Structures are given as C-alpha cells and as structure tokens.
Amino acid sequence: MLRITDRPRPDGVTLVLEGRLAGPWVDELTRCWAALLPTHDARTIRVELDAVTFVDAAGRALLRAMHERGAVLEASGGMNRLLLDEITDRRP
C-alpha cells in the first residue's frame, strides 16, 4: 500500500509518499503526477520519500522519469538516500 499526500507550498507542491511504491501503486503515483502537471511546472514539484519502505523496478523508473522531467526527489537518509543517489546518478 502507498499513501500519497499532496502538500501545497508557496512555490509549488510536495508529494509525500508513505509505504510501498510497487505494483498498482506505481500507476497511482503516475496518475497523481499527471494530474499535477497541467497546473504546476515539474520543477516546482517535490517528492518526499522518507517514509517509503520499498520501491520496485517500475517505481524506480517512474521516479527517474519524474526527476528527468524536473521534479525534486528528497530523502533525508538511510536506504532512501542511497536509492535517490542511484536514481539521480549521484553515486559516489
């Protein structure tokens, strides 16, 4: 299960993800992302991954596509920080 919460900010919106980004939940995040794009520039969308517990290959592909389109992916530490480094090609 994946919980997606959108939090408006003065300069955009933050999508807070909690749970597993896998299977049908990848499609749900895709729908949320697509719904935001008509009203927000992709660079004003932040995706917070601190509470994500698992990401499958399709979820990784979606996060990479969002990043390549301009979304800012955030994680404060641990495995999710390593995941973001991999997705955004910031590996040491």
Q: Which amino acid is at 53?
A: T
Which of the four pLDDT bands, split at 50, 70 and 90, describes residue 92? low
pLDDT in tens, 27-51: 999 999 999 999 999 999 999 999 9
User: pLDDT band at residue 82, thresholds of 50, 70 and 90?
Assistant: confident
List of residues 6+ apart from 35 with CB closer than 8 A: none
Q: Give residue limits of the domains in the chain.
A: 2-87
pTM: 0.90
How many helices (H) and strands (E) are present in the chain, helices listed first?
3, 4
Pick the more confident residue, 85 or 45. 45
Q: Which CATH superfamily is domain 2-87 in?
A: STAS domain (3.30.750.24)
Q: Tell me which residue has tokens 């980004």.
A: 21
Residue for token pair 């909690």: 18
Digit-coded pLDDT (tens) for 57-73: 999 999 999 999 999 99
Q: Please state, in angstroms and rounded to a whole number, the distance separating the CA atoms of residues 64 and 75.
A: 14
